[in-house]
Each structure stands twice: as structure tokens, then as C-alpha cells.
Amino acid sequence: MSLAHDQRTHLSSTLPRYDWTREEVRALFALPFPELMFRAAQVHRENFDPTEVQISTLLSIKTGGCPEDCAYCPQAARYDTGVTAEKLMSLDAVLTEAAAAKASGASRFCMGAAWRSPKDRDLDNVCAMVEGVKALGLETCATLGMLTGDQAVRLKQSGLDYYNHNLDTSPEYYGAIITTRTYGDRLDTLEHVRAAGINVCCGGIVGMGEGLEDRVGMIATLAGLPVHPESVPINMLVQVEGTPLAVTPRLDPLDFVRTIAVARICMPTSVVRLSAGREDMSEETQALCFLAGANSIFYGPKLLTTPNPGRDRDMALLGNLGMRPME
């Protein structure tokens, strides 16, 4: 019996497990590529229709001027990236964008603000936006930085469905990327969001100069959360001039695909989002990501401040692959 066949017969049930060890996650990354893809695709189709992709739209409701120092981010005030700080958008402007997103096929509308954490008066405005977007019949998601428990409860009361707060990388590599807050701070916010009853959207970024062991650590941490995030965005670094990571050596696209596949296997019932970085990705790489179990994309020409493939290109790609937006 071949090793691959032997391994397949030991496929664990795809019920979520919360006790993934780093050793197990490392072993998945080390599988021969075809074997890893087979396993990920199998887990994917046991839990989802592999031809369906959830479509989200992301709007920057408050751009730039952020006091944090995330080394990948063009919105950090301390980096000279050409992004100018703007005020929080008006409610009407946000609702106009949300209506347009709905008309072009999005089912979820994500609102991102470049804050370390929201001030209470800003939160009032965001809560009004959440209520308005929800009334249009869209799922709502927000990413506003760190939250207190009370703030998470207020967002929940306004109807927020998802909160995005990424772990970004492994606990060990985190300090090389961000120094203005800790990994523990991130985990605290995730706990507040979960306790408030909001769905969690949490993933990370690869290609930031991390090693394989950091990708292992990131997935093991996400899969070891008390409940898996309902949504797991896996981003490929977008190298933006002026940020400290602008000249990071590019990650092999197959390593990105492997990360998606391992995320799919370790968090079988989560929606795995092929997130930032698609603009620089070939259609073949994106197709491999879908095969590896990615089943969500951001749709629209811009992701906060970085480029994203246009809507027509995305619809053409999905059509070419015989795939369709998830209802």
C-alpha cells in the first residue's frame, strides 16, 4: 500500500477539531502537493459545495492616519505611502456604496476603519451604518481595531454579523511586524467579539518574510481558538512602497496555496477567504486556491487602499471555472 493511500485511509472526520498540534499542522504542510490538495479538496466538498464562492465587498469608511505600526499597512500614519488621512465617511455615502455592492452581487458588506480602536462617539456612527446596511438586506462586517467587551456588545445590538480582527502571523513573528500592540491584545478582542455573539472573521497574511514555521504557528493558533472563526481570510502580502515590507522577497505562490489548503483541512467548516493579493496572482494560482478549499473572495476594484481585480475579471474567472457566487 502506498504512503499516500495509507494516509488517505486515516483521514480524520471533518468535524472541527480544536486540538491541532503544531506537529500535525507541520506534517500537513510537508505533504506532497498533490496529496495535500486531495485532502483539502475532500474536506472542502464534505462541508461545502466546491463550485460556490461567497462574495464580500470591502469599503474603507475611514482611511489612513492610523497610529499603529503594522509593517505591511499603507494606512499607518508613520509610513510615507501617499495615503492621505480622511475623516469617517458619512452615513449616506456608506449606504450608497452598500446599495451598489448589493446590486453587483455582494452578499456581505465589510466596513474597515483605520483605527487602533474606535472612540465611543465613532462607534455610534458605525452602529448607524451597520443598521442601515443591514436594512438593505446585506450581511454586515466591520473591522475597526481593538474592541472592549462593551463596544462588542453595542455592535452586536446594532445588528453586526461579523467582526474582522486578524492574528496576522504566528505569535513568535508578530513582534517583527507590529510593536504597538501584542498578540494577547488581539486574542482579547477576539474573545470580546465571540462573547458578544458576533461571528468572527480572523486570519492572517503570508509573504511577510515569515518562515514556514510561522505559517504553521498561525494556522495552529487559528485552529486552536475555542471556536474556529466562521471566516478565515488568508492574505498574500501586497507590497506597498513606503511600508517596511515593500521589499520583502516574494513568496512562492504554491506556498500560498499550501497555506489555504492547510487552513481548509484544519478548519473544515469555516469559510476560507482568498483575500488580499489577488491582483498580483495569476488566474491559475487563484484556481488552485479554489481547489485547495478557498470559498470566498473580496469583490470590487479596491481592498481598502490596495488594488483588487475588477468585478468583470472576477465574474469571467468564476464563469471560466464553472463556479458561481454563493447565495
Q: Under the criterion CB under 6 A, does residue 177 sit at the interface with ligand SF4?
A: no
Q: How far is the CB of 76 from ligand SF4 (least distance, A)?
A: 4
242 and 74 Cβ atoms separated by less than 8 Å: yes
Distance CA 204, CA 324 (A): 25
Q: Residue 266 catalytic? A: no
Q: Under the criterion CB under 6 A, does residue 58 sit at the interface with ligand SF4?
A: no
Type of residue at 185: D
- Complex with ligand SF4: residue 66 or 196, whichever CB lies closer: 66
Catalytic hit among 181, 186, 258, 273: 273
Q: Residue 273 catalytic? A: yes
Q: Looking only at Cα atoms, what is the longest distance across the chain?
A: 64
Among 132, 145, 207, 253, binds ligand SF4 (CB under 6 A): 145
The span from the first CA to the last CA of the chain, in angstroms, equals 42
Distance CA 133, CA 99 (A): 8
Q: Under the criterion CB under 6 A, does residue 114 sit at the interface with ligand SF4?
A: yes
Q: How far is the CB of 68 from ligand SF4 (least distance, A)?
A: 4
**Residue 88 DSSP symbol:** P
Nearest to 209 by CA among 173, 263, 166, 261: 173
Strands 231-236 and 204-206: parallel
Catalytic hit among 39, 154, 194, 201: 201
Q: How far is the CB of 171 from ligand SF4 (least distance, A)?
A: 17
Catalytic hit among 39, 108, 110, 266: 110
**Interface with ligand SF4 in residues 66-85 (CB under 6 A):** 66, 68, 70, 73, 75-76
Q: Under the criterion CB under 6 A, does residue 276 sit at the interface with ligand SF4?
A: no
Q: Residue 127 catalytic? A: no
Catalytic hit among 73, 127, 202, 289: 73
Q: How many residues bind ligand SF4 (CB under 6 A)?
A: 8
Identify the three-state secondary structure at position 14: coil
Q: Residue 141 catalytic? A: yes
Alpha helices in 168-208 (DSSP H): 174-177, 183-195
Q: Residue 289 catalytic? A: no
- Complex with ligand SF4: residue 62 or 154, whichever CB lies closer: 62
Give the C-alpha distances (Å, rounded to integers) separating 256 from 29, 116, 131, 222, 243: 11, 28, 36, 17, 21
Q: How far is the CB of 303 from ligand SF4 (least distance, A)?
A: 12
Nearest to 138 by CA among 324, 312, 299, 307: 299
- Complex with ligand SF4: residue 59 or 66, whichever CB lies closer: 66
Q: How far is the CB of 78 from ligand SF4 (least distance, A)?
A: 9
Strands 324-325 and 306-307: unpaired
For 190, list phi and psi in degrees, rounded to 5: -60, -40
Q: How far is the CB of 17 from ligand SF4 (least distance, A)?
A: 30
Report, as residue numbers or ranges, the catalytic residues: 66, 70, 73, 110, 141, 201, 273
Residues that bind ligand SF4 (CB under 6 A): 66, 68, 70, 73, 75-76, 114, 145
